[in-house]
Amino acid sequence: MDDDQPHTELVKCVLVGDNAVLENSKVTLDGVNVSLRLWDTFGDHHKDRKFAYGRQVREKDLVMPDQGRIVAKELGIPYYETSVLTYFGVDEVFENAIRVALGVRRQQRFWLTSKKTLLPTLQAPFCPPKPKLPGAEVLQSTFKEDRQILFDQSLFTDVIFVCGSVGFSAHRFLLAASSPFFLKVLNADYTQEPPTTRCSSETSLVSCSLGSNNLGGDFFFNVDDTEQLLNNSAPNTPQKGGLLQKPNITPTWGENRRVDRRRRSNSLHLSPSMGHWNEKTEHNVDPKPGIFKALNHPAIQSLRIQQCESLDARGRVVTSLQTIFTCTKAVSCKAMAQVVKFIYTGEVEEKLCDLNELRQVAEHLNIPGLRMYTSHVLNKNTKVNLFEEGTKIHQAGIKNVCLDLNAFADVVFRLDDGHIRAHKPLLMARCDMMLAMFTHDDFVECSARVVKFPGVTCFTFKELLNYLYTDQSPRVTISNCLGILELGNRLCLPRLISLTEQIVIEKLTVMVDDEGEDVTEDALKILQPCQVYNADQLGEWCLAYLAQSYNHICRKYPKVLRSMHPENQAWLNVHRWPPIWYLKDYDFYQRLLMDQERRDRPKNLKRARNHSGCLCFSSKSRKDSSYGIG
């Protein structure tokens, strides 16, 4: 009894190993007022210097509940667990400590008012909270940088814009995707039209530097008013000041400039319309060399198709079919340079050209993205993200022209269930494996008309092209995601893998959390293939979900569980939920609870009435004698 506070029990509790405690607390427990005073063992833990230094906690250092219960039994004290992190058992351990103290004091002074004090209660085991399923992080997009690479490298270009004495190279498929005007002009059939007389400006082209797409004015043409036919000159030799025997364009080299581009004449003659490609029946619909067409257009004066010679990266002469557009005088070189730059990169260097002139050229060439860009800049509209809006227009055009129509494709992929056409330059700019495959002579695909891709279906390859062309997420489900993961791993496309992981994880999470479905079978099916295809995030999600459903898997899929990789089995055994130690502790708690209920059950002190007889005669004998039996 506390003298300062009457009718209050004083309980002193010493916390071993802690310092700076010394707190008082007033509680009422089982109808008894208690003043709980906490003491510490200040200085005791400093005697052992190993506690003065931080050490790494190892798994074997953990004391499991069964081990702690054995030590408590040897000391003859109850065993309780507490956690400051989760606040589990903090109040319970002090309440039961007070009950133990009051119980001992009651034995000494039974007349105190603590007759209703209970014995220390059993502590239910602590179940760790169910861990959250991991999510997926998508790698940063490189679509903008890859478009710049396509613009800088200018590999396999097939269009030349001649603006005055400057030339710019481009790709037909990209022009058609950016402008309905170019789609109509480039997709037209000029073979059945009567030949048109060429103008003097068209015959005056002699040579040009086609080494790169650098728009700094490195493309020069020697101009002459009359056409000269040099019968004695070599057909593959660049001429300075004259013309070759055939109307072609041969590159001239600057002092410090090298050509970093290949041009190959391995056209497949594929129809730009949709349909199944037949290797045996090719339709020769590509434009023929020697075609000239005068265009009644304010920006484009004429169109000419001819074979052009250039040097590849190794200095070898290669020949390719080029579509040459001659611009009118209304289009300046600076404006045309920014038009080509915008078509490829979606950006414009505003200081290098007149925006009003650029908008006029965009209207003549019917380039929706450039019209939108120049209008917002001239109107000083800063609320719109011009690059994002331009990218959306670019993606829609690429999807319509290159994916849906398959226009101007220059390579065919043979798959397990069909053929799909694609565009080499775009594949090479977006995928390093494609770049190596189409540029190095060590690969058979470098010069092959048809590229074989075994083990890949048309659906999987279409989703790959959709990602490479538009940088959009593939349209996958849980059942068909493995094909895209395998192809993305084969072509070293980590962003495609992360996008696929994100979609599948979101679908699985919705099925588990919102719909309450069991996806154990799906997780078991895709777990190990994901680990093989470097889809680590999806593999971690599957492992985490299987660990939460470990007991269900053991009952329903024991053979599948035993057939898993040993590392996966070991991981599941360690990270299973609920953990094995909790299950053992919970079973022990249930046994103790049943024993306590059996002890607390009131005994029936009333003797059972079985109609016992008097003296040595039982009721049965009396009953039998009454009937005269015996």
The angle at the Cα of 27, spanning 23 to 32, to the nearest 5 degrees, equals 135
So what's the pLDDT on residue 250? 37
Counting the structural domains of the chain, the total is 3
Confidence band (pLDDT; 50, 70, 90) for 288? Answer: low
In a domain, 139, yes or no: no
Read off the pLDDT band of 46 (50, 70, 90): low
162 and 307 assigned to the same domain: yes
Percent of residues, the chain, with pLDDT higher than 90: 48
* E strand spans, 502-577: none
Domain boundary among 577, 607, 625: 577
What pLDDT does 629 receive?
43
Q: Are residues 268 and 367 in the same domain?
A: yes
User: In this predicted structure, what is the pLDDT of residue 575?
Assistant: 94
Closest CA to 425 of 145, 150, 143: 150
Regarding whether 230 and 342 lie in a shared domain, the answer is yes
User: Is 612 a member of any domain?
Assistant: no
CA 601 to chain centre: 61
Q: Which domain holds residue 282?
A: 148-400
Verify that 515 and 377 share a domain, yes or no.
no
- With a cut of 80, say whether residue 245 has pLDDT above it: no
In the prediction, which pLDDT does 99 show? 86
Q: Which residue among 99, 128, 157 closes a domain?
A: 128
Residue 139: the pLDDT is: 96
Residue type for position 106: R
Note the pLDDT of residue 31.
76
Q: Would you say residue 247 lies in a domain?
A: yes
Provide the pLDDT for residue 371: 94
Which residues have CB under 8 Å from 234's CB, separation 6+?
none
Residues 363, 290: one domain? yes
Same domain flag for 175 and 285:
yes
C-alpha closest to that of 174 among 214, 211, 146, 208? 146
Query: What digits encode the pLDDT tens for the residues 477-514?
Result: 999 999 999 999 999 999 999 999 999 999 999 999 98
Greatest CA separation found in the chain?
154
| pLDDT tier at 540, thresholds 50, 70, 90 | very high
Please check whether residues 107 and 234 belong to one and the same domain: no
CATH code (residue 112): 3.40.50.300
Tell whether 304 and 180 lie within a shared domain. yes
21 domain residue, yes or no: yes
On whether residue 424 sits in a domain, the answer given is: no
Closest C-alpha to 435, from 425, 444, 450, 422: 425
Q: Are strands 32-40 and 9-15 parallel, antiparallel or unpaired?
A: parallel
Domain stops at, among 68, 100, 128: 128
Q: Is residue 302 part of a domain?
A: yes
SS3 content of the chain, % helix, strand, coil (to 5): 40, 10, 45
- The proportion of the chain whose per-residue pLDDT surpasses 70, expressed as a percent, equals 73
Cis peptide before 129 (omega within 30 of 0): no
Does residue 418 lie within any of the structural domains?
A: no
pLDDT band at 232 (very low <50, low <70, confident <90, very high): very low
302, 292 in Cβ contact below 8 A?
yes
Supply the pLDDT for residue 62: 84
Strand blocks (E) in 211-337: 291-294, 300-311, 317-327
How many CB atoms sit inside 10 A of residue 57's CB? 8
497 and 561 in a single domain? The answer is: yes
Residue 587 lies in a domain: no
103 with 30, same domain: the answer is yes
306 has pLDDT over 60: yes
Residue 519: how many other CB atoms lie within 10 Å: 20
pLDDT in tens, 395-448: 999 999 999 999 999 999 999 999 999 999 999 999 999 999 998 888 888 888
- The H or E element spanning position 203 is helix 200-203
On whether both 177 and 55 belong to a single domain, the answer is no
The verdict on 159 and 91 lying in the same domain is: no
Instruction: Look at the chain and count its residues.
Output: 630
